[in-house]
Amino acid sequence: MKQHVGLDVSLNETAISVREDGIRTWRGKCSSDPGVVAEVIRRHAPQAERVVFESGPLATWFYHTLTSAGIPAICIEARHAHKILSETLNKTDANDADGLAQLAEAGFYKEVRVKAFSSMLARTLIAIRSQIVGISIQLSNQIRGVMKTFGLIVPKGKGRAFEANVRALLDGRDDLARIILPLLGAWRDMRNHVAEFDRQLLAAARKSRDALLLMTIPGIGPVTALSFAAAVEDPSNFRRSRSVGAWLGLTTRRYQSGEVDYNGHISRRGDRHLRSLLYEAATVMLTRNKLRNDSALRTWGLALRERIGLKRAAVAVARKLAVVMHSMLKAGEAFRPTGCNTAT
C-alpha cells in the first residue's frame, strides 16, 4: 500500500508522521539531518509516495539530499500550509507533521520549486553584497550625523572624496577624531568588501550565457541579470512568459465578490529583491538612457509615463521587462530594440 509522510523540520529535530489509507501508522522524531531522515523513512515508510515538508531555511538542503537518496520529497508553500495547520486545536511539532502527512495524502498543497545549489550560491552572493552596501551607507550616514552635531558639515561626495572631506574636517579635532576614525575605517573596509563582491559578480556574469544575453538590454547590469537568471533557472519552468510578471508580484491584485469587482495595487509576492532590481532598471530606462539606447520598450514606457506618472509607469515597464527577459532566455536571442522579442 502507498504511504504518505509529513516532515515538520526545525533546526535541531524533525518530527515525522507516516499515514496509510487514512490512518497514522507511525510517528516519531529524529535529528534534523536529511540523511538520518531518509533512513527513518526507508524503515517506516518503504512505499512512500509523497514526502512533504514546508519551505524554510533548511528546505534546499533537505530537498536535494532526500531526492538524491531516492525519496519522493516535495517542498510545499509554508503560508498555504500554515492556514490549514493553524486549525489544529493543539499546536505541536508532532501534530504539524501529521497535518502535513494528511495534506500529502489528499494532494492538497502548493508545491514550491526548489532551486539548485548553484543558483542559491549566486543569489547568496548578490544578497550578501546588498547587505554590505547597506552597511556602508549606514556608516557614512552615521559619520555625517555625528559630525553635524559638532558643526562639521561633510560636503557631498562619495568614495575617496568622502573620506578626504571627513579627514580634512577632523584636522585639529583629536577628541572627535578618536570617535570618527574607527567608523571611517569600518566604512572603508565595507567599501573594499563591496569592490571584491563586484569583481566576483562581474566574473560570474561573464561566465553565464544567460546573464550575457540579458545584459544586452539597456539598463540591465550584472547584478540584475544574474539575479533574474538564478531566480528563473530554466525558462521551461514557466509555460508562458507573462506568468513571470505575476510570479514576481508585479501584476495588480483583483477582488471580486457579487457586485464588487476592482483591481488593487500590485501583489508584491515572490522575490522582493529581484522585483526591486527590475523596478530600478525600469526607472533607469525611463530617466537616464540616452537616445542611442532607445527601444520600443522605452518609447512605450515614456508614453505611459506622460499619462500615469513615473512610478506607475516604472512598475509597468518592470513587469514587461520580466516578460521580455524570460522570452529572451527561452528563445536564446539578444534584446531587439525594435520590440521583436516575442512575449507569449
Per residue in 126-173, pLDDT tens?
999 999 999 999 999 999 999 999 999 999 988 899 999 999 999 988
Residue 323, domain extent:
212-331
Of 207, 240, 271, the last residue of a domain is 207
106, 125, 135, 254 from 130: Cα distances, Å:
41, 9, 9, 32
Q: Which amino acid is at 266?
A: I
**Cα end-to-end span (Å), the chain:** 43
Q: Is residue 320 part of a domain?
A: yes
Q: Is residue 336 part of a domain?
A: no
Q: Is residue 337 part of a domain?
A: no
Q: Give the chain's mean pLDDT.
A: 91
Question: In this structure, are 288 and 218 located in the same domain?
Answer: yes
Q: What is the pLDDT of residues 319-337, one digit of tens each?
A: 999 999 999 999 998 898 8
Of 147, 175, 207, the last residue of a domain is 207
Q: Is residue 112 part of a domain?
A: no
* Count of structural domains within the chain: 3
Question: In this structure, are 313 and 250 located in the same domain?
Answer: yes
pTM (2 decimals)?
0.81
pLDDT at 271: 85
Q: Is residue 340 part of a domain?
A: no
Q: Give the Cα separation of 202 and 210 in Å (integer).
A: 13
Q: Which residues have C-beta within 8 Å of that of residue 276, sequence separation ≥ 6?
A: none
Q: Is residue 325 part of a domain?
A: yes
Tell me, what CATH number does 102's domain have? Answer: 3.30.420.140
pLDDT at 264: 75
Q: What is the pLDDT of residues 95-132, one digit of tens each?
A: 999 999 999 999 989 899 999 999 999 999 999 999 99
Question: In this structure, are 55 and 101 located in the same domain?
Answer: yes
Question: In this structure, are 222 and 291 located in the same domain?
Answer: yes
Q: Is residue 9 part of a domain?
A: yes
pLDDT at 3: 94
Question: In this structure, are 229 and 297 located in the same domain?
Answer: yes
Q: Give the Cα separation of 329 and 211 in Å (integer).
A: 9
DSSP category for residue 116: P
Residues 22/35, Cβ–Cβ less than 8 Å:
no
Question: In this structure, are 326 and 222 located in the same domain?
Answer: yes
Question: In this structure, are 155 and 231 located in the same domain?
Answer: no
Q: Give the Cα separation of 332 and 270 in Å (integer).
A: 25
Question: In this structure, are 248 and 278 located in the same domain?
Answer: yes
Q: What is the pLDDT of residues 19-59, one digit of tens each?
A: 999 899 999 999 999 999 999 999 999 999 999 999 999 99
Question: In this structure, are 229 and 325 located in the same domain?
Answer: yes
Question: In this structure, are 125 and 89 located in the same domain?
Answer: no
Of 207, 223, 257, the last residue of a domain is 207
Give the residue among 284, 280, 273 at the shortest CA–CA distance from 218.
284
Q: Is residue 22 part of a domain?
A: yes
Give the residue among 134, 178, 132, 176 at the shortest CA–CA distance from 154.
176
pLDDT at residue 192 is higher than 60: yes
pLDDT at residue 341 is higher than 70: no
Residues 341/331, Cβ–Cβ less than 8 Å:
yes
pLDDT band at 342 (very low <50, low <70, confident <90, very high): low
